[in-house]
Structure 1
Amino acid sequence: MSDAVTSWDDEFTHVLWRAQNAVHRTVQEALDDLGVTATQLGLAVHLDQLGPLSAADLSRGFHIAPQSVGTALNRLEKLGWVSRDTHPVHGRVVLYELTDTGLAGVARGREAMASTNSTVTSGLTDQEVATLTGLLRRVTTGIDGPEVPVVSAWPIRP
């Protein structure tokens, strides 16, 4: 076994950090025309997939700080992408739902992300992309625990 110390630049966490910064920068450039961040688009995409949810549901489900979710949802509301409504059963809970403008924005965002995904992975084979994606999921699961479906803590029906 070698006693050599691994260079800082060769450590997994450093390489992952550099890759994350490069991908984040590329994603944000692709979303500039939409006027949203990757987090804002991600929340909107999940509202499209899952239906109305509270900020707390989104925060819990995606391990994002409640303040960050609140800021993102406020921006989406100012853009007309989401509307807020009082929960029909639990009156103090606020649910966020996509508007028609938000649905159109999500569709444009999905297109931008598909193009960006192709650009980011263009130097890799399909097998390498699948392997890397699986390994990164394992890293995430090792830190955050297993993926749990995002559901409302406040069902619509009592």
Structure 2
Amino acid sequence: MSEAVTPWDDAFTHILWRAQNAVHRKVQSKLDDSGVTATQLGLAVHLDELGPLSAADLSRGFHIAPQSVGTALNRLEKLDWVRRTPHPVYRRVVLYELTSTGQAGVAYGRQTMADVNDSVTSGLTSAEVAQLIRLLCTVTGQADSLAS
């Protein structure tokens, strides 16, 4: 007995990919004025929340390729959002910390992301948004466990 094959355009992975691309386009168009990408903003937000971190810490902790983290941090440094500082114990390790410009950029970015969030979820109830978040977290966890 053969199972029916879901058409490509109706498959969960395709719908999720389309949704991710649509949201990413919306986010990036709103971030263009700040001169940063969503990845760069995300790293700056993590530095704001967690304090100074190395590029390796950011790469491991947030599942971003080391090369991408390095490129993003270099861009943030050129924009004066972050500065390099030596690790207080391991002098060969470079830490990145936010500057006052970076803190202002993070505040702008947080508001921008909140506005985009409100915009893209405006057709859902708060219960539906909460359910969707839970389900996507489950999918993310499952995908991460399969990748390990």
Q: Please classify the TM superposition score into its range, dividing by the shorter chain length.
A: over 0.9
Q: What's the offset of the Cα at 1:2?
A: 7.4
Q: What's the offset of the Cα at 1:61?
A: 0.5
Q: What's the offset of the Cα at 1:84?
A: 0.4
Match of 2:69 in 1: 69
Q: Distance in 1 between matches of 2:45 and 2:143?
A: 24
The percentage of counterpart residues that share the same residue type is 76
- The TM-score, its normalising length taken from structure 1, stands at 0.89
Q: Which has the higher contact order (CA 8 A, sep 6+)?
A: 1
Q: Distance in 2 between matches of 1:31 and 1:24?
A: 10
Q: Distance in 1 between matches of 2:133 and 2:67?
A: 28
Over the aligned positions, Cα root-mean-square deviation in angstroms equals: 1.2
Q: Distance in 2 between matches of 1:7 and 1:48?
A: 43
SS at match of 2:101: helix
What is the one-letter code of the residue matched to 1:52? P
Size of the aligned set, in residue pairs, is 145
Q: Which has the higher helix share?
A: 2
- The TM-score, its normalising length taken from structure 2, stands at 0.95
Q: Distance in 1 between matches of 2:27 and 2:17?
A: 15
Q: Distance in 2 between matches of 1:112 and 1:98?
A: 19
Q: Distance in 2 between matches of 1:37 and 1:20?
A: 15
Q: Is 1:39–2:12 an aligned residue pair?
A: no
Structure 2, unmatched stretches of 5+, are none
Structure 1, unmatched stretches of 5+, are 146-158
Q: Distance in 2 between matches of 1:102 and 1:2?
A: 56
